[in-house]
Amino acid sequence: MYAKQKLSPSHYRGLALPCVLLAFLFACSPTPTHADSLEDGLKALALKVCAPSRKQSVQMNWQESPGQPGIFSASAKKAFLAQLSACGMETTENPEAPILNVTVQFTPSRLLLIADAGGAIDSRSARMIELPRAALAASNELPPALHFRKELLWQQEKPVNSAVEWLDKSSQQHFLFLLSEGLFVRLRRENGEWIPVDSSELPPGKQSRLGRGHFVYGYPDTQLEILLDGKECGVELGSRVSFNCKRTDIGGKITAISSTCDGTYQILSTGTGDHAQRDRITLAGPNVTRPPLSEDELRSGSVYMPGPVLDMLASLDGQSVAAVVKNLSTGNYEVYRLTTSCGD
């Protein structure tokens, strides 16, 4: 067995091989659900619990930490109990039976599944299984508010600077474009999933802690452009992506959305927190200068995001906004589609 972990560098220099870029794309695929690895871990833990023990019945006590509610899914619990049962250990509601506590604990890089029977199983009393902590994908999202919908389009571990949904008029194909670690990444919608198409290196430039580049629309042709190191780079979307850059003074992003209720345009604003805080995006009304004032307005026209909003860009038809968020629970970069509804 040969274990290997490959991680892409934060930015590429020169022309990288296509296979490297393809590898990057697949490395960007959504992280696996935690059920699989946790289930495997719980099965292994059950084997450890019952292997040296005398056959007996135990009361199960699943202990979840407040920060990780629901971490033991029904299927994971079932897998654990099935494994216990297979080796002759049954669970019971009998209060006289010894209690078997099962808990998950986190260390900086690992998570420990611990079965602690308080001496009921054997003298060592605690059985443990260790898993990579990164295998767990956690989420503490709050449900979206009524008048404002968010939909997770994409998530990846590598930083995303900017994102935009794009409908190719000639082919009617639906794309999601990302700027990530010096790459322009194309994803295409197929059968309800985003399929990586290719990625192209952005024109060379200086690395920044904020990443490089943000999508904007050029004027007056509404061509997709990237603001990159003080340059305005037109994007040619052919079989391969190419860029045409020139100096510019423009340096902002567009944050507006078309209301489906009355056809007016609503300004989207975020909070004034920094990158260490969760953010919420608020419909600030059609008046650019007036922020929402009342709590009612905030409640009905806000949607909480799982981390700071790094970038927002409206679609060309103004009906949706792509927002890039760093999820503070998972550390992943996520792209959301935001749309408005009339509250029905």
Partner 1 sequence: MKSIGLRQVAATRVFLVGLCLLMVPASRGTLSPRRGGTLRVELHAQTVSLDPREWGTGMTASATNEKLAALVFDRLVALDNYGRFQPQLATEWSHDAAFKRWQFTLRSSVKFSDGTALSAADVVAALQPLLPNGQQIAGSGNSVVIQSAVAVPYLLEELASGRFLVYRVQSDSTLMGTGPFFVAEANVGARKPPVSVSGAIAPSHLRFRANEEAWSGRPFLDGIDVTLGVPPLRQLFDLQLGRADLVELSPDLVRRAMQENLRVWSSAPVTLYGLRFDDAQPAAADAKLREAVALSLDRQTMANVLLQKQAEPAAALLPQWLSGYAFLFTMEEDIEPAKEIRAALPAHAAAGKEPLRLRVDASGDLAKLLGERVAVNARQAAIPLQVVNRAALRGSSSATATSTDPAPGLHLFAWHYSSLSSRVELESFVSTLNLGETSGSAVSSTDPEQLYAREKKLLEERRVLPLVVLPEYVGLGPKVRDWMPAQWGEWHLAEVWLDVPEPSAEQRGNSNATSPGAKP
Stretch 11-50 residues interacting with partner 1 (CB under 8 A): 13
Stretch 72-91 residues interacting with partner 1 (CB under 8 A): none
Q: Which stretch binds partner 1 (CB under 8 A): 68-76, 168-176, 236-244, 268-276?
A: 268-276
Tokens 């994803």 belong to which residue?
187
Q: Which is nearer to partner 1, 41 or 186 (CB)?
A: 41
Question: Largest Cα–Cα distance in the chain?
Answer: 78
What sign results for the dihedral spanned by CA atoms 69, 75, 76, 78? positive
Q: Is 129 in the site for partner 1 (CB under 8 A)?
A: yes
Q: Is 295 in the site for partner 1 (CB under 8 A)?
A: no
Strand partners, 105: 112
The set of residues, in sequence order, having a beta carbon less than 8 Å from that of 195 and lying 6+ positions away, is: 187, 188, 189
Q: Which stretch binds partner 1 (CB under 8 A): 51-59, 83-91, 131-139, 188-196?
A: 131-139
Q: Which amino acid is at 7?
A: L
Q: Is 169 in the site for partner 1 (CB under 8 A)?
A: no
Are 122 and 49 in contact by the 8 Å Cβ rule? The answer is no
Closest CA to 323 of 205, 150, 64, 194: 150
Identify the residue among 43, 77, 133, 174 touching partner 1 (CB under 8 A).
Answer: 133
> At its nearest, how many Å lie between partner 1 and the CB of residue 227?
11
Stretch 200-239 residues interacting with partner 1 (CB under 8 A): 206-210, 216-217, 219-220, 222
> At its nearest, how many Å lie between partner 1 and the CB of residue 23?
11
> At its nearest, how many Å lie between partner 1 and the CB of residue 93?
25
Q: Which is nearer to partner 1, 48 or 189 (CB)?
A: 48
Tokens 């690895």 belong to which residue?
37
Q: Is 65 in the site for partner 1 (CB under 8 A)?
A: no
Q: Is 160 in the site for partner 1 (CB under 8 A)?
A: no
Q: Is 288 in the site for partner 1 (CB under 8 A)?
A: yes
Q: Which is nearer to partner 1, 106 or 197 (CB)?
A: 106
Q: Which is nearer to partner 1, 285 or 308 (CB)?
A: 308
* Gap between the terminal Cα atoms of the chain: 56
Closest CA to 266 of 325, 320, 304, 306: 320
Closest CA to 312 of 188, 152, 161: 161
**How far from 138 is each of 69, 149, 340, CA to CA, in Å?**
10, 21, 27
Identify the residue among 163, 179, 241, 267 touching partner 1 (CB under 8 A).
Answer: 267
Tell me the HSE value of 110 on the side-chain side, using a 13 A CA sphere. 8
Q: Is 114 in the site for partner 1 (CB under 8 A)?
A: yes
